Structure formats: C-alpha cells, structure tokens
Structure 1
Amino acid sequence: MTTLEQGQTAKVRPTARFMLEHPAHFLAQGFGSGLSPIMPGTSGTLFAWLAFNVLSSRWPQWFTAFNWSIIIVVGFFIGVWACQVTGRNMGVADHGSMVWDEIIAFWLVLIFIVPADFSTQCWAFVWFRFFDMVKPPPIRWFDQHIKGGFGVMWDDIVAAFYTLLLFALWRVI
C-alpha cells in the first residue's frame, strides 16, 4: 500500500497493470508518466512538454494554437471523468500517480508562451512546478475544498494561470 501526504492510503498500488485495466486509469496516469517512482507530477509535466513540442513540430498543420485550445478544453472535461474514476478505483481522490491534470495545465501554459526559446520554456516548467507543489492561495484552498475529478483538475489550471500571470508581469517589467 502507498501512504500519501494527505494521510490517505491507496487501496491499489499504481502499477502498469492497474493503469492498463481501464482507459480512465491510462489517461489519468498520463500514459504511464505518472507511474514514475520519484516526482510523478514532474514526470507528467515533462511528458506534457515533450508531447507538446513533438506533436507541434511534427504536425504543425494539425497542432495549431486553436486546435491545442480545443484539445485542452476537451481534455479538461475528459480528465475530470478519468481522475474521478481512477481516484475512486485507487481509493484516494487525488493520488500522486494521476498526472493528467499537470499535462492539461502545462499544455495551457505552452499555448500562451510558444513560440518561445528553450530557456523560456524551461522557466515556464520551473514556475509551473513551483506553483503546483507550493500551492499558494487560492490554489491550496481549491485543493483542500474542491473534491473529485473537478478538484484534481482545477487546482492545476490555477497553477497554470499563476505561471502565465508571472510571465505577463515579467514581459511588462
């Protein structure tokens, strides 16, 4: 059993077998990136970054900012379902192996900053991870009070907003 920081204990260990048992698990666990034994949220965010850049450079005619926006909105709502199902099946509402929320939120950051050089994308990654881990207000409030799949997804969207706000202020100064 896996003990979590919120004092909850998962009924099911996050394994490849568990992930492959249901499409919701596969999605919520970021196609396997959430199964990383160390810092799964960071692994999920790295996966998001890699996937965004590979897809956007390989098929630029399909992966435009507009289409990414559609993917993000649809992905958010599908993620609410996937995280709800996976959390229920694991016995923990927001298990660390569920990283679809980081993926969708970081794609949101990237559609607003790209085209950007590697250094700028690195800073976006660092700041997003900072806001997602530290959870400054009101992110922490959302994380503690909004439960279920929507709560899992929403606090990362707010972390993405903070990241984008920081970049907007940085460009003004």
Structure 2
Amino acid sequence: MKARGTTKSAMAFRTISEVSSDLDVPQHVLRFWEGKFPQLRPLKRGGGRRYYRPEDVDLLRQIQNLLYGEGYTIKGVQRLLKDGKLDDDPDARRRAEDAPDEPDAFEAASDGARVDLVATEEAAPIVALDGLSDTIRQAIAQALDELREARLLLAVGEAKEI
C-alpha cells in the first residue's frame, strides 16, 4: 500500500485508475482509445492490469486535448498520429487540415474509379457541445465517425453504378 503524501516519480508507470483520475477521463474511455489508437500500448500484467508508461500518458493527454479541446474526431486524431503531426502548432495544423489536397479529396473505389469526397460531403451543422459529459461527447464523436464512413461507402457504391 502506498504511503500517504508520497508521489510517484515522473518516470513511474501509472495504473488506469491513476491516469483516469489525472486526466479526468473515465477508465472505459481510456480502454476505448486503446482500441482506436494502436500507438497506445500500456503494459498488461497478470489479470490484465494495465500500466501506462510516461509516454503513454503524454499521448493520452494529447489525444484528450485534440478530441475535447480542439474538437477533432477520432478519425482526425488517427490521421494526425499516422502523419506524425501531433506536436505541430495547433493553428498550423488547422490550416493544413482546412487546405484541400489532392490525395485526401478523392477515394479510390475497388474498381479503380475515383470518388470525389469533397463533393459528397454536405455542410454539417455546428452544434454546441458545452455542458455535455465527456462520455456523451465521445459517443457523439464515434457516431459522427461511423456516419462519415457510411457516407463514404455509399459514395463508392454510387460511383460503381455509374
């Protein structure tokens, strides 16, 4: 049992309970993020108990900021991680995200046809999410990601029919 008043060193591993408390994010959300972001790989010991390394906690903090602070979706954060753009300046990152670029504007269908994703996306209404719990925000973000994927599948299907 840990003595009162002592704190772990910055390099110490953290349990899911400690990380959840530090980030003010429910444990189930942390486990959900592990499934969505393969870069998160806490050590798992007997009984499946998770131990987060300091770099895992830093990454979780960045993911939390992007999702809750900057309003990114899961897919958006996945793309930033894939492109190695997490440590960029947020304003520069936003400008790059807003700029249309050829590779992301089109999706190749399985038959080689190109589907214009920009033309298939309609303007989404802006909804204020103030006052919602983190769990509800996460559920909304996940639903939006699923809707975008469904829209893409429909667009690819329509391109095949043409």
Same-fold call, TM cutoff 0.5: no
Higher RCO (Cα < 8 Å, 6 or more apart)? 1
Q: Relative to total residues, which structure has the larger strand share, 1 or 2?
A: 2
Question: If you compute each CA radius of gyration, which structure gives the higher value, 1 or 2?
Answer: 2
The structure whose residues are more often helix, as a share, is: 1
